[in-house]
Structure 1
Amino acid sequence: MLISKKVVKAKFIRRPNRFKAYVYLNDEEIMVHVPNTGRCREILTLGTTVLLREENNPLRKTPYDLIAGYKGDVLISIDSQVPNKVVEEALKLKKVDNLKDFDLVEREKTFGNSRFDFKLTDTRQNREYYLEVKGVTLEREGMAMFPDAPTERGAKHLRELVEVIKAGKGAGVLFVIQIDGINHFRPNDEMDKDFGEALRYAHQNGVDVYAYNCAVTENSITLKNEVQVIL
């Protein structure tokens, strides 16, 4: 997926709350929007190089979104709106091996009282599959983990996917690791024990658990390779 808007580099200064940060751009300190409610503490450190996407909207208070940051030499995307777009592109291009047979891809569909990121349909076999997507930005010593902050909503989604299975339909969760070169993923039990337990419960009850890394450049991000999930 190409980033169509202008992208510029800046130096990170601080993040006073979840939604805004201050950076140096062209020798000037400016405020930017952070499109990620996670902590991103391992990425957003003083002096690190970050990427800003220009947003030409006169109604906005901030002219840029902070969409990625370098952790050493590794570029990590932190834009929380990216994973669903990346997965939609990959599904339509048949890049997720186990989901290739689903020819109809729909966003934001409900099942019962739950809303999931995708509803997939195999129109030839009349099969339905509900897919939830989670963006992953936390990495330690080559291991990707989710979440980087407690998420009651995330655990709730996983338990709701089990109800889809009980109704005789397919269900899965796909962790989009917004980093290249990662080969392993696990739930971050140290941060959110309930989420880890919910993920294992979902897996034990028939919910598919996938994790894919991404090819990340300063102007694009694309789903790349499936990685090992450690539960």
Structure 2
Amino acid sequence: MKFIKDTVRATFVKRPNRFQGFVEYEGEVIMTHVPNTGRVQEILLPGATVILRKEDNPARKTAFSLIAAYKGEALINIDSQIPNKVVEEALLCGHIPELRKYSIIQREKTYNKSRFDFLLESPEGEKFYLEVKGVTLEEKGRASFPDAPTERGTKHINELMDAYDEGYGAGVLFVLQMANMKEFSPAYEKDPLFSSTLYKASQHGVMVMAYECKVTEHSLDLTQPVPVRFREEG
């Protein structure tokens, strides 16, 4: 997926709250919008090279959004709106083999008290609820989620199990917003409850998938699956 809006490089300075980041751009320190409610503390470090997206809304308080950052030589996307768009494009193109039989794709459909990112349907009428989670946390080529406790994420996993029990297909797709990952696992130290719930779901029948991405300063594309590992597997 190519980005429609122009992007530029800057140097990260600080992030005083979830939605504000300060960067040095063209010799001046300016405020940017950070479209990610996660901590991403291991990515947004003072002095890091970051990617800004130029915004064209004159009503905005900031002229740029901070959408990605270099961690060493690796570029990691942090725009939380991108994973759903990338997955939708991949679904439409049939690039996710596990879900290729579902040709009808609907966004943001409610099931019980949760709103899942996708409701997929096959020509034969089989329905599949899909939740998408963007992943930015990695260490030594091993990606994990979440980077902070997520009650909402645990709730989604529990309701995917409920949907499966009612006869629907159900799955969660972790979009690793970086390349060259060896594996994906839940972040046990960050959120033990989410991690144990995800393992329970995987044993229950919920499909747990992880795909990495090719990330550039001007595009992001879903590329290939990455093995999902749980501690319970030994």
> How far is the alpha carbon of 1:112 from its aligned partner?
2.7
Q: Secondary structure at the match of 1:228?
A: coil
| Equivalent residues of 1:69, 1:75 under 8 A apart | yes
| Match of residue 57 from structure 1 | 57
| Equivalent residues of 1:11, 1:47 under 8 A apart | yes
> How far is the alpha carbon of 1:113 from its aligned partner?
2.9
| Equivalent residues of 1:183, 1:213 under 8 A apart | no
| Match of residue 184 from structure 1 | 183
Q: Secondary structure at the match of 2:158?
A: helix
**Partner Cα separation in structure 2 for residue 210 and residue 100 of structure 1:** 14
**Partner Cα separation in structure 2 for residue 137 and residue 87 of structure 1:** 16
Q: Secondary structure at the match of 1:21?
A: strand
Q: Secondary structure at the match of 1:43?
A: coil
| Match of residue 89 from structure 1 | 89
**Partner Cα separation in structure 1 for residue 34 and residue 112 of structure 2:** 33
1:66 lines up with 2:66 in the alignment = yes
| Match of residue 217 from structure 1 | 216
1:151 lines up with 2:150 in the alignment = yes
> How far is the alpha carbon of 1:15 from its aligned partner?
0.4
**Partner Cα separation in structure 2 for residue 154 and residue 113 of structure 1:** 13
Q: Secondary structure at the match of 2:201?
A: helix
Can you give the 5+ residue segments of structure 2 that lack an aligned partner in the other structure? none
| Match of residue 79 from structure 2 | 79
Amino acid at match of 1:16: P
Listed one character per residue, the Cα deviations across residues 44-101 of structure 1 (whole Å, up to 9, x for unaligned) are 1111100000111111111100000000110000000000000000001111111000
| Match of residue 30 from structure 2 | 30
Q: How many residues align?
A: 230
Q: Secondary structure at the match of 2:16?
A: coil
Q: TM-score with structure 2 length normalisation?
A: 0.97
**Partner Cα separation in structure 2 for residue 111 and residue 14 of structure 1:** 39
Over the matched positions of the two proteins, sequence identity in percent amounts to 53
> How far is the alpha carbon of 1:114 from its aligned partner?
2.2
**Partner Cα separation in structure 1 for residue 40 and residue 153 of structure 2:** 17
Provide the aligned C-alpha RMSD in A.
0.7
> How far is the alpha carbon of 1:110 from its aligned partner?
1.3
| Match of residue 129 from structure 1 | 128
Q: TM-score with structure 1 length normalisation?
A: 0.98
**Partner Cα separation in structure 2 for residue 114 and residue 167 of structure 1:** 15
| Equivalent residues of 1:213, 1:226 under 8 A apart | yes
> How far is the alpha carbon of 1:201 from its aligned partner?
1.4
Listed one character per residue, the Cα deviations across residues 167-204 of structure 1 (whole Å, up to 9, x for unaligned) are 10100000000001112000001010010011011111
| Match of residue 5 from structure 1 | 5
| Match of residue 116 from structure 1 | 116
**Partner Cα separation in structure 2 for residue 44 and residue 115 of structure 1:** 30
1:207 lines up with 2:206 in the alignment = yes
After superposing on structure 2, the runs of 4+ consecutive aligned residues of structure 1 that deviate more than 4 Å are none
Range 144-153 or range 111-120, more displaced? 111-120
Q: Secondary structure at the match of 2:196?
A: helix
Can you give the 5+ residue segments of structure 1 that lack an aligned partner in the other structure? none
